[in-house]
Amino acid sequence: MDGQVIKLTRGTPPTSTFPTGKIAECASAVLAQHGDEVLQYGPSRGFLPLREELARETNTKADQVILGGGSLNLLDLFIRLVVKPRDWVFVEKPTYDRPLILLRRAGARVRGLPMEEDGLNTRYLTQRLEEGVRPVFLYVIPDFQNPSGTVLALEKRHRIIELARQYDFWIVEDLPYRKLRYRGDEVLSFLEMAPDRVLQMSSFSKLISPGLRVGHLIVPEPLAGPLAKIAEETTINASYLNQAIVYEFIERGWLEPQIEELKVTYQPLLDATLASLEDHMGDLATWHRPDGGFFVGTMLNAPVDAGVLQQKAHEAGLLLTDGRTFFPDGDGDRFVRLPFCALSEREIDEGIAGLAGVVRSLG
Ligand SMILES: Cc1ncc(COP(=O)(O)O)c(C=O)c1O
């Protein structure tokens, strides 16, 4: 491995994909046209033209669109608004690790819904609801889930909406990878199917640059005022300058080609990951075969302690995220998330071969 560490840890985009020159052009245009507005404090919902653009795209009203310093910041605000200590919140199992941290901080009780090839197990969800557990909301990443890579099947989305109406809980859908589909057809989003029940969060972090910290939350009308208020009390407003840069980027017609370029860059890396898994891990693990996104979720066949696995991998020049961080209840020892977008094909193959060696040495 040439003495270099291969990082199979955070799912960040490679810096080579950042459209730095174009962002500079947008920044200078925005400062020339809207300098006074974007350098001043503003209403907490954010830069109106971008909110109008997102409202058009999602068939909602600009008032329902709240911009934040990344989407995670808005999820935190929503949790502060609706979750009291000991309230139940349902998540997928595994799920993105940071919302688990936010929920724990709020004192929520978190129930993980086991994942299947086509997304969360809706029978399990139904049983928990029939037993009388009443979540305030379900947090779900329906498209190319972080960390498993799965897409939630349309029939399951319908069933979840039915249950949300029957048992009166919100659905929070988180879609940062939705537009990074390398093959196959898009599935209807929850927001498209049930705008009165759904909060949709997403961001430009994976499409333009995470450093801009421009995320959004689209909320049913009754929640918009209270969320805008808590946003104002917490951060006053997120960066109008960055929001206006994103708006300008879209206005100039640069977002679609940027996304197309990302797909051309990432698809071969996904294919390389799947091929390397076949070559090296066929007898050691099972994995999901995603059609998009940033991650391939892998489950090792044999029991292993995640801490030991991480340590041994480190000694072999490989950084792994502890699989347990994605599970609300401490499971996840055998789970390995493989982010592929920021690695070269060579690093992917060497990394997966190295991982196979470590797993064999523990077996
Ligand atoms: C599922 C999911 N949600 C939210 C985020 C954070 O997004 P943002 O940069 O908009 O805060 C990430 C980042 O990796 C993610 O994977």
> Which three-class secondary structure state does DSSP give residue 260?
helix
Is the distance from the beta carbon of residue 290 to the nearest atom of ligand 1 less than 6 Å? no
Ligand 1 center to residue 84 CA distance, Å? Answer: 23
CB neighbour class for 62 (10 Å; exposed up to 12, middle 13-18, buried from 19): middle
Is the distance from the beta carbon of residue 210 to the nearest atom of ligand 1 less than 6 Å? yes
Is the distance from the beta carbon of residue 146 to the nearest atom of ligand 1 less than 6 Å? yes
Q: Where are the alpha helices (DSSP H) in the chain?
A: 20-38, 48-58, 71-82, 97-105, 122-130, 154-167, 190-193, 221-235, 240-251, 255-281, 306-315, 345-362
Ligand 1 center to residue 130 CA distance, Å? Answer: 32
The structure's pTM equals 0.96
pLDDT of residue 10: 72
Pocket-testing residue among 91, 97, 98, ligand 1, by greatest number of atoms within 8 A of Cβ = 98
337-353: per-residue pLDDT in tens? 999 999 999 999 999 99
Of 175, 245, 182, the C-alpha closest to 206 is: 175
The 10 Å Cβ neighbour count of residue 311 is: 13
Is the distance from the beta carbon of residue 96 to the nearest atom of ligand 1 less than 6 Å? yes
1-28: per-residue pLDDT in tens? 446 899 999 789 999 999 999 999 999 9
Backbone angles phi, psi at 174, to 5 degrees: -115, 120
Q: Which residue minimizes the CA distance to atom 5 of ligand 1?
A: 72
Contact 179, 266 (CB under 8 A): no
Pocket-testing residue among 174, 202, 235, ligand 1, by greatest number of atoms within 8 A of Cβ = 174
Calculate the dihedral angle through the C-alpha atoms of 250, 254, 256, 262, rounding to the nearest 10 degrees: -120
User: pLDDT under 50 in the chain at which residues?
Assistant: 1-2
Ligand 1 center to residue 176 CA distance, Å? Answer: 6
Matching residue, tokens 């994995």? 287
Contact 198, 171 (CB under 8 A): yes
Ligand 1 atom closest to Cα of residue 294: 16
Contact 197, 220 (CB under 8 A): yes
Is the distance from the beta carbon of residue 95 to the nearest atom of ligand 1 less than 6 Å? no
Ligand 1 center to residue 175 CA distance, Å? Answer: 9
pLDDT of residue 1: 44
Backbone angles phi, psi at 149, to 5 degrees: 90, -5
pLDDT of residue 3: 62
Ligand 1 center to residue 72 CA distance, Å? Answer: 6
147-206: per-residue pLDDT in tens? 999 999 999 999 999 999 999 999 999 999 999 999 999 999 999 999 999 999 999 999
Residues in the chain: 363
pLDDT of residue 54: 98
